[in-house]
A and B are shown apart, each in its own frame.
Chain A
Amino acid sequence: MRVSQRIGFTAAIAGLILVRPAAAENVPAAASPPPAPATAAAPAVAEQADRLLRQMGAYIGSAEQFTFHADITFDHVLPSGQKLEFAAAEDVALDRPGRLYVEWSGDLGNRQFWYDGKSVTLFDPATPFYASEAAPPDIDAMLEKLLPQLNFAPPLADFLYRDPYRAVRANVQYGFYLGLNDVNGKSCHTLAFVEKDVDWQIWIDPGPQMTPCKLVITYKTHPAQPQFSAVFTDWDFAPRIATPVFTPDLPPGAQKIPFRTVASTRK
């Protein structure tokens, strides 16, 4: 937890106010609005929300293997500001400590991502090109250290860590519990969280398998506030994953090109 967040956390407990220190300094004392009515101190993240999130994280984080499917919608914003929604499907196969396969099939393109404990490989089947890079031996290190350098991460990577709770909880400023709500006919615990840059909601299966039912992220820093939504299905914690799944399966003649981050300059 960063220092500023810790201070924010403390401030929230003290007065039910979430103000970053920098923001507080900018407000002259005389011009400050009257303090919020004194109420019983409430944590910035409701205990129930925090507990459910932790339980979900512990459940999927402790699994040595799993597969799941997610049906995704995401917004694409036109330069005019108009939001368009597109869909994708993501399939994930994970085998700790060091094997992962992610397949993304979407309206705007497909991707395949392989990690075998030695290297990561990314392939866009619409092109003859793939890129490959040496990788650390376990999934957490690969996600944490390598992928930021390569400037991408498989969507829903949050749920692939050993400790998904830590991954998603780190930047939360405020969180609360919304009760049991429907996700495609299943009743799931609904939690909502506020961060500086995103708001997100997660629906968690009440059990016995405390898996995510659904995730929605709103990107607040973009004026159009685009959203990403994923509905999870087919969680399988005793999957029979054939080993070749984690080995890049590239078409004959595929050419290796570098990972290199460039800003696309065309608008």
Chain B
Amino acid sequence: MGRFFTDRKKLAVALLAGAAIVACLAIGVERAAAFRGGFGGFRGGGFGGFRGGGSFHPGGFAGGGSHFGDGGSFDRSGDAGFGHDGFGSVHNASDFSDRADSFQQSHPAAPRSAGEFQQAHPEARQNASQFEQTHPGAQRNASQFQQAHPDARQNASQFQQNRTNEANTLQQNRSNEANTLQQNRYNDASNLQVNRTNNWNNFNGNWGGYYSGLGLGAGIAIGATLAVLPAAAIALSVSGTPYWYENGVYYASQSGQYAVVPPPQGAVVPAPPPYCQTVDLGEGRTYDCGGAFYSSVPNGYEVIPPPIGVAVPDLPNGAVDRTVSGVTYFTYGGAWYQPLYSGGGVTYQIVAKPG
């Protein structure tokens, strides 16, 4: 069976070579050199003609790391890859052009077209055909290798056996890990659920300000009271009221104890909560930390009102749906989120309180 497969491969290579020759004849000598470079590349494993030493990735394009993700156009966390920005369409691909232009402006050295590239790298095509000429033995070498290393196949079956054993062990390990993870997740979820239920019982309808899902994430529910502050908690003063802050959680003095409270608007903390995502409002940096919003300020991170106009791909945990005048909204932490179909997927935009 294995031998049959090998023979078939050889036959396929021969056919490919034949096809290459036919193609070359069909398109004339000028193009042929370039094409044969491509085929030679595949046979020789060097990809000579088409890659030409990274020639299709000139400095300008490859060096754009810092610009990466600026537009978020390929950060498809929200749109499932479905049809946004001309994705999957040749015809609509010009939708990318805005970004292309801005990229071009910031990278003036990047070739604008295949033609410019060709002009700038006249050697590329030549290299391709030179590769053919300097590596006529590429194909022959492959079969010589087979002859010179008859033990290769034997080793391969030994490897196969080893791999099978390793795979079985790995599978067992993974299984165990998965079970443990599953159990941990289940426990976490139960705790969160209990905390949330408590919140609702204690505070239902009384939340005028903001609170952070992080209070839950840290295992401490808003409304929980502690006799002693965490050692790392720092003291803050917001509009004259003392608060303490530690790792995304805010505490206020209450009847001789410390109660976990929603993040107070205007509070400035030295470090943001641990689970934040950046939102881009065009001015400064704003962070969405589980539905509580922070803005970067000179001396740290300030709790701000939910910014109207911000669109996020998912809702904070615990958002509640409300229908106002037939329109669906979600509320959380004083913000109103409206679900919309934007760019082929559902997104949630923070809007002014309706009605």
Chain A interface residues (CB < 8 Å from chain B): 8, 11-12, 16-20, 23, 33, 36, 39-40, 42, 46, 48, 72, 74-81, 86, 88, 104, 106, 108-111, 122, 124, 127, 129-131, 148, 150-158, 161, 167-168, 170-171, 173-174, 176-181, 193-198, 200, 215, 217, 219-226, 228, 230, 255, 257-267
Report whether B346 and A129 are in contact in the complex, using a CB–CB cutoff of 8 Å: yes
Residues of B within 8 A of A173 (CB): 113-115
Confirm or deny: B5 has a beta carbon within 8 angstroms of a beta carbon on chain A. Answer: no
Report whether B90 and A158 are in contact in the complex, using a CB–CB cutoff of 8 Å: yes
CA–CA, A88 and B344, complex, Å: 15
Q: How far is the CB of A91 from chain B (nearest CB, A)?
A: 13
Which of B87, B88, B91, B347 has the most A CB atoms < 10 Å from its CB?
B88
Report whether A42 and B30 are in contact in the complex, using a CB–CB cutoff of 8 Å: yes
Known: A79-B75, A217-B88. A33 touches B119 (CB 8 A): yes
Report whether A197 and B31 are in contact in the complex, using a CB–CB cutoff of 8 Å: no
Q: How far is the CB of A183 from chain B (nearest CB, A)?
A: 14
Report whether B74 and A179 are in contact in the complex, using a CB–CB cutoff of 8 Å: no
Report whether B344 and A152 are in contact in the complex, using a CB–CB cutoff of 8 Å: yes
Interchain CB contact (< 8 A) of A265 among B64, B69, B94, B280:
B280
Q: Which B71-127 residues have a C-beta within 8 angstroms of A?
A: 72-84, 86-94, 96-97, 99-100, 103, 112-116, 118-120, 122
Report whether B74 and A75 are in contact in the complex, using a CB–CB cutoff of 8 Å: yes
Confirm or deny: B27 has a beta carbon within 8 angstroms of a beta carbon on chain A. Answer: yes
Confirm or deny: B313 has a beta carbon within 8 angstroms of a beta carbon on chain A. Answer: yes
Report whether A154 and B83 are in contact in the complex, using a CB–CB cutoff of 8 Å: yes
Residues of A within 8 A of B35 (CB): 176, 178-179
Report whether B81 and A106 are in contact in the complex, using a CB–CB cutoff of 8 Å: yes
Confirm or deny: B281 has a beta carbon within 8 angstroms of a beta carbon on chain A. Answer: yes
Known: A223-B68, A263-B311, A267-B280. A157 touches B341 (CB 8 A): no
Residues of A within 8 A of B280 (CB): 265-267
Confirm or deny: B212 has a beta carbon within 8 angstroms of a beta carbon on chain A. Answer: no
Chain A residue nearest to B100 in the complex (CB):
A221
Residues of B within 8 A of A20 (CB): 112-113
Interchain CB contact (< 8 A) of B68 among A16, A77, A153:
A77
Q: How far is the CB of B135 from chain A (nearest CB, A)?
A: 20
Report whether B93 and A19 are in contact in the complex, using a CB–CB cutoff of 8 Å: no
CA–CA, A189 and B76, complex, Å: 32
Residues of B within 8 A of A220 (CB): 61, 100
Q: How far is the CB of B253 from chain A (nearest CB, A)?
A: 34
The digit string for B281-325, where 1 denotes a CB below 8 A from any CB of A, is: 100000010000000000000000000011111000000000000
Report whether A155 and B89 are in contact in the complex, using a CB–CB cutoff of 8 Å: yes
